[in-house]
Chains A and B, each alone.
Chain A
């Protein structure tokens, strides 16, 4: 881009200078992300939906991405802003690698970087409209944290964004425990994702589960969950109360 006519580039066509710069509302959005610490590291789950208002417009959006060697990011909210954040992180990791000093940014550092980015944008009334989940393992230390679009950030043993705050957190509070096995961790995440599928209008039945351990990152192939509709009460719910629902 450096040979592009400088005046045009500076006048703000490729940068965000012109006009009122406050993000008013999101367009293409992803719903909940859930993350948990388990025995060997972090497990994270997110569906692959990109909603456009009430339309479930895109069904193959990857909302879980590896960052460097030690971290995994999951995002809900505006997808274009998430794509921009991935570019920022790409540059961050690139510069980190260019030092070539044997050091690499761990999840704690990446989380801190994201927090600064999100909070500074919030202060300019032009937020990146995302809730991010950042998980990773470095030198045996597990890390799981979150940053919201206004810069609120914290770490915990289990994290949920969006609807997950309301629907997944109670389940995680009850059933999470230290040293979950991989199988139990996946089952716990799937339990949360299934509830979200039943009760979140913007949920889509195509999800990925990602795992990060000291060895590295694995993101599963997309898959769908079975749902249960066999309650007898579902057969004739308005019997005896016609017109109700």
Chain B
């Protein structure tokens, strides 16, 4: 039981870290020395940064909001997990934790999908998706799996 508990806690903390990095680091797309989205459009020139605000399209703002909400809900579900760990009766299920975790995974999924669909096609050879984008897509199945684990998990002692 302790092993399972430690494993779940580590998984949840990993997800929180992944979501925080993906939301706050400005590296959803890269084009050579230029990294842009989610918040800024920055170029590294001669060792210094030259940044503009990101293109304020409607869909980009929606993605920003969804990523922030996903991070928030993941953190909230971790807090509820710790609460429920001590207050739940024996045999009880961590349903509130699960609800928040599943919601967080839905938000991250929506954000990643909207970004993927709406970001303009760049046929430039140098364009590539950055690591923050990859982390966002990675966060979705992780949070979903951990949400399902919380649904099934029962408190034993």
Q: Do A and B bind each other?
A: no
